[in-house]
Structure 1
Amino acid sequence: MIAVITSIVLSFYIWTNTARYQAGRNIDVTTTDTDKNKIPIDQVISPTQVIWQDGTDQRLIYNNEENISMSIQKVMKDWNISEPKEVFKKDGARYQRIIQQDNAIQLVYPTAISVKTLGYLLDSTDLRRAKDYSFDRIIFTLKNKKDNYIYLANDSNYAVYRAKVKDAVSEPILKLARKTNVDLKVRLNLLKHGVFTFYTEPIKMKTYSYVMSGKKDSEYTTALFDSNSDDLVTSQNENIYTYNYGETKRLISDHNKGELTFYDYTDTSVPKDRLSFFQRGYNKAVNLQNSVSNLRLYNADWGEKELTYREYVEGFPIFKKSQFGSIRIKFSRNGTTEYFLNKVLEVPVPSDQSATTLQSTTSILKGIEKAGYSPNDIQDIQIGYQWESEADNEDVIDLTPTYYIKIDGHWKTYSDWSNESAEEE
């Protein structure tokens, strides 16, 4: 009788108040091992450079023990940021003054993102409801108490938007800025194709070595086709393998280059807004490589509906032996196409290489002009890490810093364009 009565009482509470039981059950369902391994979206879509103007110099700062840009972004989640308003656009001189102002911090994204995307990353209702401007930089002053704004700056059209901020204090940001072990003097200059970070003096950078890992084709077909292997039709042409699942999906694997291309002809919807564009790209990227913690969104082409991701070391991009970085995703009415490499950096190992000292950016530009190119030909210039396999062990990758320059749509090292070394003599 006691057991029966107890059962009836418990049943009554469950029937009349299911919320507490459902909440507990939902936690168990959503916290899967797969989700735990996924890189969070605010890490993949995040600033890769922090530039601090301390009242004297403009410097690019980094801390290899704590990701400063991620930490600042975390601080910003506690700020109350209102809807941004346009201040001006298409004014290069005024734009340059904004990005070079004293006592300011800049968070610099590798590519333009949008206001609603920032609102999603910061969990800000006001930003998610705002007009969806695009921007590359977030700028805020640190010592001007009258300037209660953050500024969003767009390098493509020299537009600046500002949003009023409440509940923001500068001390946590300054504390993070002072915790640096990479501190490089820079100047932001406007050239024909946009804003470039100039290193005003020779800089010394570490070299790194990593153990590389890859997957078998069968691991990708299992994840991408979500079907029984008996349904796949496999063909081979020398070292290029093709896997077809009916007429809806295809995977091509080039074993010589370690490059794969996946076609999904069933995914014919094209993102209608920038936030869904970034969200869908993120989901596809982490589905391909869900454990690559240093993967970052590198370039977003809204017109072509194309996203490119690269791996990063110490805030600098890694350039592999492909023109598309680590992952490239393209949406179209005919289906999505995903390009990716079967090469992932897993474990850092001690490097026997000494640090590399690179020339100033001005010296590099002089070398480019000497090789017959005009500064107006340069679409982009940045320091990145060159990926090279060790001669005696192909599973170990050496990463050496150098200048990368984009001309005519192609990224090449400074030495490839000029036949000279980017290193300081």
Structure 2
Amino acid sequence: MRNNWIGILLTIMVVLSMALSAIVWISPYHFEHRGEDGSRNEQQTTSQSMQDIYLPSTIIHTKGDGSQQFLYDQPRNLMLTIKESLRNWQLRSGRRISSNSSGNYLSYLRHDNSLLLSYPATVPLTIFNDSFNASLSTDRISRVNHIVLPLNDSHHIYLLSDDHFQVYRINVRNMQIAAIKKAMKGGHHFSVDHKIVNNRPFVTYPNGVKLPEFAYRITTANVDNISQSLMNNSRKGNINSQTEGDVTTYSDSPSRHLNYNHKRGTLDYEHYMGQDQHYSYQSIFGHLYERLSKSTISLDSLRYDAYNSGSKTITYRSYVENFPVFNDDGYGEVRVQLSTEGVERYHFSRYSLQVPLPVDKHWTRLPSSAVVFNELHNSNHMKDITGLRVGYRWQSNQSDKTVTLTPTYYVHYRGNWVDYQTLTK
């Protein structure tokens, strides 16, 4: 009898193992983030690949009647499904079909029966090529902001660049979208629309937005380990440290040092390479990712978020459910710079969102974008606004082991993303 029970238990364990393996194979990304009961599970500790960290951050479905819906939290990870599908398509030559026409550009942002994939900021074509296994020529197309995937056209996709409102039609062979349509089912959505505001394309929210709060456990990195890794030094005694006020400086040579701000929990690393570093726009994204991936800085929840061409700086930011996370002290954000003078700089914090926690659903209702724009007009700030997005606010408190993320609108104001309420009070 005992042997029979053992055999039955072993059979059950094998079946459960096979079932879990199938779930992970079908939807690996989503399985890392949310359990079957809606609670959130700990993410894997492996770093994201360059293909994934530079993926578009938002997906908008335009229906046949022209209405648009922002999609998020699909049971199957829609962005990864699109990525894997697109990598199997054969993208042929492309040509520009529109330029310098905001009206035409808007019509493609609202293309009927399509999915619009949008990057949070411009990326070079080389990044698109790497993520989607394409080999389009950078001689014809330089920058990409949006990808339009028609759901009723098996021969073309469109690449859009906000720079001069350029639209490129790309010929496609072997375009299969059945898996994409299947992954679109379920999940959540809210109404959006595209408009041209201050001569820039905006996503607007005509009916406002209702979103839940999220809770995360915070992981605190060990500063000594960070200094050892960044300075490639396995012998702790060879790294000198000196504290002045709230800042401790770690250094192993005159050319390399790490400043740790105890009060804010942020770190600034500088490495004087000793030679000029010249990377083209098409190559610097890959180079800075490679440098960052060799550090101990966790890339798990980070996504590409911005590029400053003047300072050659890329910002990577934490995201939850396709929404960016913002913090006044820079928590959940990594900035990487490679100056033309040969100085490599990192700015980041000890604190990162690591373990999602189950919480009672507290929902926040955000007003319509029309209300937001009116308030910005009344405060005389609207003329300086160049972007609008929904994000999550991370309130700084170093003593907390967990954090609650609250949704709000962020506007791009004079080069920075800020909570719109700071401009309308």
Q: Which residue of 2 aligns with 1:253?
A: 260
User: Residues 271 and 317 of structure 1: is their aligned pair in 2 closer, same or farther, counting only changes over 3 Å?
Assistant: farther
- Superposed displacement of residue 154, structure 1: 0.8
1:16-35 map, 5 Å: none
**What residue is the counterpart of 2:333 in the other structure?**
326
Given candidates 212, 233, 237, the residue that maps to 2:240 is: 233
Amino acid at match of 1:191: V
Q: Deviations over 1:22-73 (max 9, x none)?
A: xxxxxxxxxxxxx982211111110111111121211111225432112101
| Alignment partner of 1:181 is 2:187 | yes
Give yes or no for contact 2:60–2:117 (8 Å, CA) kept in 1: yes
Alpha-carbon distance in 1 for matches of 2:120, 2:366: 21
**Alignment partners' CA distance in 2, 1:208 and 1:289:** 26
CA shift digits 1:260-291 (9 cap, x unpaired) = 11001016453533343111221233344554
Q: What residue in structure 2 maps to residue 371 of structure 1?
A: 379
Give yes or no for contact 2:96–2:169 (8 Å, CA) kept in 1. yes
- Relative distance call for 1:322 and 1:268 in structure 2 (3 A) is farther
TM-score when normalising by structure 1? 0.84
- Gap change, CA 1:58 and 1:188, over 3 Å in 2: same
1:416 aligns with 2:422: yes
SS in 1 for 2:381: coil
In 2, Cα distance between equivalents of 1:194 and 1:153: 13
Letter in structure 2 aligned against 1:78? N
Residues in 2 aligned to 1:76 and 1:214: alpha-carbon distance in whole angstroms: 37
Identity within the alignment, %: 22
Aligned CA distance change for structure 1 residues 340 and 193 (closer, same or farther; 3 Å)? farther
Residue 399 (structure 1) aligns with: 405
CA contact (8 A) 2:229 2:296 kept: no
Aligned 8 A contact 1:117 1:128 in 2 = no
The 3 A distance-change label for structure 1 pair 362 and 372 is same
Indicate if the aligned counterparts of 1:389 and 1:396 stay in contact, CA closer than 8 A: no
Q: Classify 1:268/1:39 alpha carbon distance in 2 versus 1 (closer, same or farther; 3 Å).
A: farther
RMSD: 2.2
Counterparts of 1:334 and 1:50, CA distance in 2: 38
Count, aligned residues: 379
Match of 1:340 among 348, 359, 379: 348
Q: Which digits, 9 at most, give the CA deviation of each residue in 1:367-388, with x for residues without a partner?
A: 11222323x2212221100002
Q: What amino acid does structure 2 have at the position aligned with 1:143?
A: N
Q: Residues 44-83 of structure 1: matches in 2 within 5 Å?
A: 44-56=53-65, 57-83=67-93
For 1:89-128, what aligned pairs fall within 5 Å after superposition? 89-124=99-134, 126-127=135-136
Q: 1:323 to 1:294 in 2, by over 3 A?
A: closer
- Does 2:173 match 1:166? yes
Q: Tell me if the contact between 1:84 and 1:130 (Cα under 8 Å) persists in the aligned partners.
A: no
- The normalised TM-score by structure 2 is 0.84
Q: 1:181 to 1:114 in 2, by over 3 A?
A: same
Aligned to 1:31: none
Asked if structure 2 preserves the Cα contact closer than 8 Å seen for 1:203 and 1:360, the reply is yes
Residue 243 of structure 1 and its aligned partner are, at CA, apart by: 1.1
Selected match of 1:214 from 193, 212, 220: 220
Displacement of 1:324 in angstroms is: 8.7
Cα gap change, 1:203 to 1:209, in 2 (>3 Å): same
C-alpha distance in 1, partners of 2:397/2:312? 36
User: Are 1:144 and 2:150 an aligned pair?
Assistant: no
Q: Distance in 1 between matches of 2:214 and 2:116?
A: 27
Match of 1:10 in 2: none
In the alignment, structure 1 segments of 5+ residues that lack a partner are 1-34, 420-425
Unaligned runs of 5+ in 2: 1-43
Say if 1:76 and 1:180 are closer, same or farther in 2 by CA, change over 3 A.
Answer: same
Residue type matched to 2:175 in 1?
A
Structure 2 vs 1, CA of residues 344 and 59 (structure 1 numbering), >3 Å: closer, same or farther? same
SS at 1:251's partner residue? Answer: strand
User: Shift of residue 114 of structure 1?
Assistant: 2.0
CA distance in 2, matches of 1:249, 1:48: 34
How far apart, CA to CA, are the structure 2 residues paired with 1:345 and 1:169?
Answer: 36
306-315 or 194-203: which moved more?
Answer: 194-203
Tell me the amino acid that sits aligned with residue 318 of structure 2. E
Rounded to whole Å, the distance in 2 between the matches of 1:143 and 1:68 is: 18
Deviations 1:107-153 (A, max 9, x none): 111111122222222223x32676451011011211135xx211110
Structure whose CA Rg is larger? 1
Letter in 2 for 1:116: T
